[in-house]
Amino acid sequence: MSTSTTYLENLKNRVYFATDKEVPRDFLDRMFAEGERVWQDTLAPKGLEDRKVLIVGGGGYIGVPLTTHLLARGYSVRCLDLLLYQNRDVVHPFLGAKGYEFMFGDMADKDTVTKALDGVSDVIVLAGLVGDPITKKYPQESAAINDAGVLNVIEQCNGKGLNKVVFVSTCSNYGEIPVDTTADESFELKPLSLYAKSKVAAETAVLDGKGQVDYTGTVLRFSTAFGLSGRMRFDLTVSEFTRDLYVNKKLDVYDADTWRPYCHVQDFACGLTRVLEAPAEDVAFDAFNAGGDVNNYTKAMMVEAIVKHIPDGEITYVEGGFDRRNYKVDFSRIRNRLHFTPKYTVDDGIRELIAALKQGFFHDYEQRRDYYRNNDIEYSKT
């Protein structure tokens, strides 16, 4: 079965001209060969002209920039989302765009997922109640969404002739690790929250699929996100601290010496795409910490970075917060195996957010707090 001429041209442009210049030529050649394999094994049998990615949760903080990135790279995107935070307008810019399709639906509903999987080549699972506070606030809904819903998607992916299924997990799974230790992917998982425990269970379901399913499964353990997005969030450390100090709000910093890794939403989009395009044998049924060593920060370091740009804020350091998580993370696997290194530093994210605030963006924050934060949801299990 010959490869489509149009697809080959698109593949060449995607791999050799639209991939980071730092990626070695031999790896680019392997990416191109992977693209040819995908045509033979997945696209041609499904009658697809190019890759079509189902993003479960494509209307979220990371899903929106990921959609933009994939469409720009020539992919088609189907977004399945319930838009639980009443944020329907985040997908408006994509409606009618070439290659984009939106499906309003619940990933816990089997018929909905069956329809969503029809005619796609790959799947990225982003959806879920994200973060410790909201899963603690909505434990029953969390069980329906983060446990039953995610597992429903993973289970239904088998037997559909898919190429890759990528599950987005979290570095929060490492919990509280010893000082002066960095967690690589083999480090023991010690989830402290309902949110992280659900992620670990889903990771297990994906990785245990080796030899049992007909797709290539991969887990990405995400750092804490930052950066501008069409579905902006101000309940994450970089954005929350920066905005609070910008608007002269007193900032209380709990347990300032605890570590977290951070990663820009644009870099997450690139990292997810790299997994889709990497040789299957390099990502098959393995986990990768997603981020970069340069963005391992303590909260105190974060405040110091912001104060360089906003020097007059009122800051109080408080010990004994409820969140015990403390983890510094090693990113050598994704760097060495997939040649992925984030482009954006925490300082870049601080500067871009300050620039946006100066231009009057997010002026409606106080009137729409629930829109900009994962505070409340509207969910009724179908």
Please report the domains of the chain, with CATH numbers, ordered by start residue: 51-225+265-292+330-343 (3.40.50.720)
* Per-residue tokens: 132: 């410790």
Closest CA to 340 of 292, 300, 307, 277: 292
Mean pLDDT of the chain: 95
HSE of 222, CA atoms in CB hemisphere, 13 A: 25
Maximum CA extent, the chain: 66
| pLDDT of 325 above 90 | no
Indicate the range of 128-142, 145-159, 261-275 predicted with least confidence: 128-142
| pLDDT of 380 above 80 | no
Residue 190, beta-bridge partner list:
none
pLDDT in tens, 274-317: 999 999 999 999 999 999 999 999 999 999 999 999 998 999 99
| pLDDT of 94 above 60 | yes
The pLDDT, as a whole number, for residue 334 is 98
pLDDT in tens, 43-55: 999 999 999 999 9
Q: Mean pLDDT across the stretch 75-92?
A: 93
| pLDDT of 103 above 80 | yes
Closest CA to 118 of 72, 162, 67, 70: 162
The pLDDT, as a whole number, for residue 126 is 98
| pLDDT of 321 above 90 | no
Q: Mean pLDDT across the stretch 68-76?
A: 97
| pLDDT of 232 above 80 | yes
| pLDDT of 362 above 70 | yes
Query: Can you give the pTM of this predicted structure?
Result: 0.97
The pLDDT, as a whole number, for residue 3 is 85
The pLDDT, as a whole number, for residue 1 is 62
Helix/strand/coil for 244: helix
Distances (CA, A) of 7 to 4, 16, 39, 75, 182: 5, 14, 8, 11, 42
Residue whose structure tokens are 């040819």: 36
| pLDDT of 382 above 90 | no
The pLDDT, as a whole number, for residue 381 is 66
* Per-residue tokens: 187: 């480090």
Closest CA to 165 of 62, 285, 79, 63: 285
Within 8 A by CB and 6+ apart from 264, the residues are 225, 226, 227, 342, 343, 344, 348, 349
Q: What percent of the chain has pLDDT over 70?
A: 99
